[in-house]
Structure 1
Amino acid sequence: MPSRSSARLAALTVAAVCSAASAVVVASPAHADSVRIHDIQGTTRISPYAGKQVTDVTGIVTGVRTYGSSRGFWIQDPNPDADPATSEGVFVFTSSVPKVAVGDAVTVSGTISEYVPGGTSSGNQALTEIVRPTVAVVSSGNAVPAATVVDARSVPAAYAPAGDPAANNSVNALTLRPGTYALDYYESLEGMNVQVADVRVVGATDPYTELWVTVKPWENRNRRGGTVYGSYDAQNTGRLQIQSLGAVADFPAANVGDKLTGTTAGPLDYNQFGGYTVVANRIGTLKSAGVERETTRKQKNGELAVATYNVENLDPSDATFAAHAAAIVNNLQSPDVVSLEEIQDDNGATNDGTVTAGLTAAKLIDAIVAAGGPRYDWRSIDPANNTDGGEPGGNIRQVFLFNPERVSFTDRAGGDATTAAGVTEVRGKAALTVSPGRIDPANAAWKSSRKPLVGEFVFRGRTVFVIANHFNSKGGDQGLTAQYQPVVRSSETQRHEQATLVNAFVKDILDTQKNAAVIALGDINDFEFSGTTKLLEGDGELWSAVKSLPRSERYSYVYQGNSQVLDQILISPSIRRGCDFEYDSVHVNSEFNDQISDHDPQVLRFRP
Structure 2
Amino acid sequence: MFAKLAQRGLWLLLAGVASTFAAQAADVSIDQFRVRGPAGGNDEFVELFNAGPAAIDLSAYKFNASNASGSIGTRLTFPAGTQLASGCHLLLTNSASSGYSGSVPGDLTYATGVTDTGGLALLDADGNIVDQVGLSTGSAYKAGTPLASLGSSNTDQGYQRRQTAAGLPQNTGDNSADFVTVSPTQPHNSTSPCVAMGPSLSIADSSISVHGAGDVAMPFTITMNQAAPSGGTSVHVATANGSATAGVEYEALDTTLTIAAGETQASFNVVVHGRTTPADDKSFSVTLSDPGDGVALGDATATGTIHYDIPVQAEIWQINGSGQRAALLGKSVLTYGNVVTAVGPLGFTMQTPDARADASPLTSNGVYVFTNSIPTVHVGDAVDVAARVDDYYGLTELKNATVNVVDRHVRLPRAVVFDRRTPSPDPDHLSCGATNFQCFMSMRVRIDHGMINTGNKRFSSEPYAEVSITANGRRSLRQPGVVFGVPVPAGVDLPNWSGNPEVFKMNTADFGAVPLNTPFNAGSTFHAEGVISYDFGAYTFIPTQFRLAYAAPMPRPVSPTPLLALRIGAFNMERFCDSVFDTTYTCSGGSKEPTPDAVALKTRRLSSYVGSVLQLPDVLSAEEVETLPILQGLATQILADYGVAYDAYLLPGHDPSGINVGFLVRRDRVQVLSVQQLAAGETWDDDGHTAFIHDHPPLLLTAQAGHTRFQVISVHMKARSNVDDDTADAERDREKRFLQAKSLASQVQALQQADPRMPLLVVGDFNAYQFTDGWTDVVNLVAGRYDDNQNLLKLGHNIVQPALWNAVNTVPPNDRYSFLYTQNFGEIQGYTRAGSGNPGRTVPTFQVLDHALLNVPARLRFLDMQFGRADLDAPAQTVDDAASASDWTRAIGVSDHDGFVVDLFVPLIHRRLH
Aligned partner letter, 1:253: P
Aligned partner letter, 2:375: A
Structure 1 458/547 Cα, relative in aligned 2: closer, same or farther at 3 Å? Answer: closer
Query: 2:640 aligned with 1:370, yes or no?
Result: yes
Q: Which residue of 2 aligns with 1:327?
A: 609
Q: Which residue of 2 aligns with 1:43?
A: 322
SS across alignment from 1:284: strand
Q: Which residue of 2 aligns with 1:194?
A: 444
Cα shift at 1:562: 8.5
Distance 2:772 2:564 in 1: 33
Q: Which residue of 1 aligns with 2:510?
A: 245
Cα shift at 1:107: 4.8
SS across alignment from 1:536: helix
Alignment of 1:98-113 (within 5 A): 98-99=372-373, 101=375, 103=377, 107-109=386-388, 112=391
Query: 2:770 aligned with 1:504, yes or no?
Result: no
- For residue 456 of structure 2, the aligned residue among 167, 187, 206 is 206
Distance 1:55 1:240 in 2: 32
Q: Could you tell me whether the CA contact under 8 Å between 2:522 and 2:552 is conserved in 1? A: no
Cα shift at 1:228: 6.7
Q: 1:429-473, CA deviations, whole angstroms, 9 ceiling, x for partnerless residues?
A: xxx449xxxx869689xx9xx954422333248765432236235
Q: Which residue of 1 aligns with 2:899?
A: 601
Alignment of 1:297-446 (within 5 A): 297-298=560-561, 303=566, 305-310=568-573, 317=598, 321-341=603-623, 361=631, 364-372=634-642, 373-379=644-650, 381=652, 397-403=659-665, 405=667, 406=670, 407=672, 410=675, 423=679, 432-433=680-681
Aligned partner letter, 1:459: A
- For residue 556 of structure 2, the aligned residue among 276, 282, 293 is 293
Cα shift at 1:505: 1.7
- For residue 468 of structure 1, the aligned residue among 711, 716, 725 is 716
Q: 1:508-555, CA deviations, whole angstroms, 9 ceiling, x for partnerless residues?
A: 425765636572521625354644673431245474623440553651
Distance 1:128 1:87 in 2: 12
SS across alignment from 2:617: coil
Cα shift at 1:341: 4.7
Question: Percent same amino acid among aligned pairs?
Answer: 14
Q: Could you tell me whether the CA contact under 8 Å between 1:227 and 1:236 is conserved in 2? A: yes
Q: Could you tell me whether the CA contact under 8 Å between 1:310 and 1:523 is conserved in 2? A: no
Q: More deviation in 364-373 or 248-257?
A: 248-257
Q: Which residue of 2 aligns with 1:579?
A: 860
Distance 2:771 2:504 in 1: 24
Distance 1:451 1:276 in 2: 42
Distance 2:576 2:320 in 1: 44
TM-score, length basis structure 1: 0.60
Aligned partner letter, 2:641: A
Aligned partner letter, 2:440: L
Aligned partner letter, 1:588: R
Distance 2:321 2:516 in 1: 36
Structure 1 308/161 Cα, relative in aligned 2: closer, same or farther at 3 Å? Answer: closer
Q: Could you tell me whether the CA contact under 8 Å between 2:350 and 2:367 is conserved in 1? A: yes
Q: Could you tell me whether the CA contact under 8 Å between 2:366 and 2:440 is conserved in 1? A: yes
Q: Which residue of 1 aligns with 2:703?
A: 459
- For residue 588 of structure 1, the aligned residue among 869, 881, 898 is 869
- For residue 545 of structure 1, the aligned residue among 803, 806, 814 is 806
Q: Which residue of 2 aligns with 1:167?
A: none
Distance 1:328 1:305 in 2: 12
Cα shift at 1:205: 3.6
Distance 1:527 1:606 in 2: 21
Query: 2:362 aligned with 1:85, yes or no?
Result: yes
SS across alignment from 2:437: helix
Aligned partner letter, 1:186: F
Distance 1:307 1:506 in 2: 17
- For residue 817 of structure 2, the aligned residue among 556, 559, 580 is 556
Q: Figure out how many residues of one structure are paired with residues of the other and give that number.
A: 487
Cα shift at 1:152: 5.3
Structure 1 402/313 Cα, relative in aligned 2: closer, same or farther at 3 Å? Answer: closer
SS across alignment from 2:440: coil
Alignment of 1:110-189 (within 5 A): 112=391, 127-129=394-396, 135-139=400-404, 146=412, 149-151=415-417, 155-156=421-422, 158-162=424-428, 186-189=437-440
Q: Could you tell me whether the CA contact under 8 Å between 2:576 and 2:624 is conserved in 1? A: yes
Aligned partner letter, 1:456: L
SS across alignment from 2:568: strand
Aligned partner letter, 2:609: A
Q: Could you tell me whether the CA contact under 8 Å between 2:530 and 2:545 is conserved in 1? A: yes
Structure 1 294/91 Cα, relative in aligned 2: closer, same or farther at 3 Å? Answer: same
Q: Could you tell me whether the CA contact under 8 Å between 2:770 and 2:779 is conserved in 1? A: no
Q: Could you tell me whether the CA contact under 8 Å between 1:197 and 1:264 is conserved in 2? A: yes
Q: Which structure exhibits the higher relative contact order, with contacts defined as CA atoms closer than 8 Å and separated by 6 or more residues? A: 1
Cα shift at 1:86: 0.8
Q: Which residue of 1 aligns with 2:753?
A: 515
Q: Which residue of 1 aligns with 2:95?
A: none
Distance 1:554 1:82 in 2: 40
Q: Could you tell me whether the CA contact under 8 Å between 2:569 and 2:620 is conserved in 1? A: yes
TM-score, length basis structure 2: 0.43
Structure 1 454/510 Cα, relative in aligned 2: closer, same or farther at 3 Å? Answer: closer
Structure 1 201/153 Cα, relative in aligned 2: closer, same or farther at 3 Å? Answer: closer
SS across alignment from 2:807: helix
Which structure 1 segments of 5+ residues have no match? 1-11, 67-71, 116-126, 164-175, 221-225, 344-355, 386-394, 413-421, 424-431, 478-487
Q: Could you tell me whether the CA contact under 8 Å between 2:768 and 2:777 is conserved in 1? A: no
Which structure 2 segments of 5+ residues have no match? 1-6, 19-65, 71-135, 139-143, 146-280, 282-304, 378-382, 459-464, 482-496, 578-593, 755-759, 787-797, 823-842, 880-891, 907-914
Distance 2:815 2:905 in 1: 23
Distance 1:154 1:384 in 2: 45
Q: Could you tell me whether the CA contact under 8 Å between 2:628 and 2:651 is conserved in 1? A: no
Distance 1:498 1:74 in 2: 56
